[in-house]
Amino acid sequence: MAEALRVGIAGLGTVGASVVRMLQNKASELTRQCGRQIAPVAVSARDRTRDRGIDLGNAQWFDDPVALARSSEIEVFVELIGGEDGIALDSVRAALEAGRHVVTANKALLSKHGVALAAIAEKKGVLLNYEAAVAGGIPVIKTMREALAGNHVSRVFGIMNGTCNYILTRMEAEGLSFEDCLKDAQRLGYAEADPTFDIEGHDTAHKLSILTSLAFGCRISADDIYMEGISNITQADIRAAAELGYRIKLLGVAQKTDSGIEQRVHPTMVPVSSVIAQVHGVTNAVAIETDMLGELLLSGPGAGGDATASAVIGDIADIAKSRPGFQHGPVFGWPAKELAPYKRARMRAHAGGYFIRLTVHDRTGVFAAIARRMADNDISLESIVQHGDPSEEAHKTVILVTHETMEASVRKAVEGITRDGHLTTKPQVIRIERAA
């Protein structure tokens, strides 16, 4: 049997501690599967005295993660520190330049520096594995990087943030407000004290940018993503969606068009009958549309110590199974130097139309004015419905559902209605997406 694979782990938070625990508890199974033992021989974390509920045995302790990354005592450096810059970047770069394989769960790091780090890994002939960076325990990276070889991917989309999906699920199931659901998510540990990164779509955007690179062979462009969060979703939107046969989900969507690549993160109405509409709570799901395989949907736990640690262990096991002299595949499916520049697509006709909710003054001529603004922008309406609350005599809610149209046209029409002075509150515009 080959010698043990020597692993160094930087970051012993929830995920790091779970990785150490799994490596110990599953040692015999991993040895049988990989043909060699996987040994955590070194660790690094801020606090040596903290009780993490794990036995570090004889593992060497490094106060400096960069020193651990460069150590000749390890063959694999596992980065679980987090953050797009600073010590996480320094340590990963140091490990790759020293010829160490790297496993990371750091989506922010990869979305900003992934292509540069991939170039180093490929030059040094080492692996940079990152399954845990996107959708937790779901093996979407391995699927896209390896299992779909030969397939042409046209679109990838999905639910990639468990916090948002949990909030939207509770809002629909229990009739709670966004604010109440967020507070409960924070109490249960599903949302941070400052939840902005999750609820405003940044977390999903980082993950989507990585999948976009894998899908279309382009450089990562996390700063070129249209992004909306879920903080403006109300019970009025949830109820209207249900009446129309839809469910609201925060989706990340990337697709290739004639004019370039479109990346967007936003609340979306999906048909209740679709598979992705049945993904509830903190669960994640990613759909991949291909020419040969058709549509593939992967679903499972998207966060949490064990789910993320499982993906990290899978990446380490892949390295343990590789043999000296084996030519590793490129980090993002294409060699880093051959990744195409990202070209942002023009605004296009959005398949499936738009849901528009307007709260308007209850006065003569409002309906006609709204219809005129839609017609002036060549927007065809599938339906227009008025909702009234007897307790609110001064205003009414108007729900519009459009046929397929242009994003720019919808925005221009809504801006015109706003300028006309008919609205009492900010308008709500939600895309309707064909879904798996």
Q: Are 109 and 92 in contact (CB under 8 A)?
A: yes
Q: Give the end of a domain, one of 301, 328, 363.
A: 301
Establish if 160 belongs to a structural domain: yes
Q: How far is CA 312 from the centre of its chain?
A: 17
- 253-274 as b/e: b if 16+ CB within 10 A: bbbbeeebbbbbbbbbbbbeeb
Q: Give tens-digit pLDDT for 264-299.
A: 999 999 999 999 999 999 899 999 999 998 999 999
The residue among 348, 365, 345, 367 whose CA lies nearest residue 407 is 348
- CATH number, domain of 20, equals 3.40.50.720
In the prediction, which pLDDT does 396 show? 83
| Secondary structure of 50-64 as H, E, C letters | CCCCCCCCCCEEECC
Q: Are 162 and 171 in contact (CB under 8 A)?
A: no
Same domain, 161 and 107: no
Establish if 400 belongs to a structural domain: yes
In the prediction, which pLDDT does 325 show? 61
Neighbouring residues of 122: CB distance < 8 A, sequence distance ≥ 6: 328, 330, 331, 335, 336
In the prediction, which pLDDT does 347 show? 62
Establish if 118 belongs to a structural domain: yes
Establish if 42 belongs to a structural domain: yes
Q: Are 83 and 109 in contact (CB under 8 A)?
A: yes
User: Is 207 an active-site residue?
Assistant: yes
Same domain, 130 and 205: no
In the prediction, which pLDDT does 191 show? 81
Same domain, 147 and 123: no
- pTM for the model stands at 0.91
Domain of residue 83, residue span: 5-137+305-338
Q: Are 329 and 319 in contact (CB under 8 A)?
A: no
Establish if 344 belongs to a structural domain: no
Same domain, 18 and 127: yes
Same domain, 58 and 160: no
- CATH number, domain of 381, equals 3.30.70.260
Establish if 343 belongs to a structural domain: no
Same domain, 90 and 223: no
Establish if 260 belongs to a structural domain: yes
Same domain, 21 and 120: yes
Q: Which residues in the chain come in under a pLDDT of 70?
A: 1, 325-327, 347-351, 388-394, 435-436
Same domain, 84 and 108: yes
- Residue 181: is it exposed, middle or buried by C-beta count within 10 angstroms (0-12/13-18/19+)? buried
What is the C-alpha separation between 316 and 7, in angstroms, rounded? 8
Same domain, 167 and 68: no
Same domain, 88 and 119: yes
In the prediction, which pLDDT does 305 show? 80
User: Of residues 107, 112, 207, 256, which has the active-site annotation?
Assistant: 207
Establish if 265 belongs to a structural domain: yes
Count: domains in the chain:
3
- CATH number, domain of 253, equals 3.30.360.10
Same domain, 365 and 413: yes
In the prediction, which pLDDT does 234 show? 92
Same domain, 192 and 289: yes
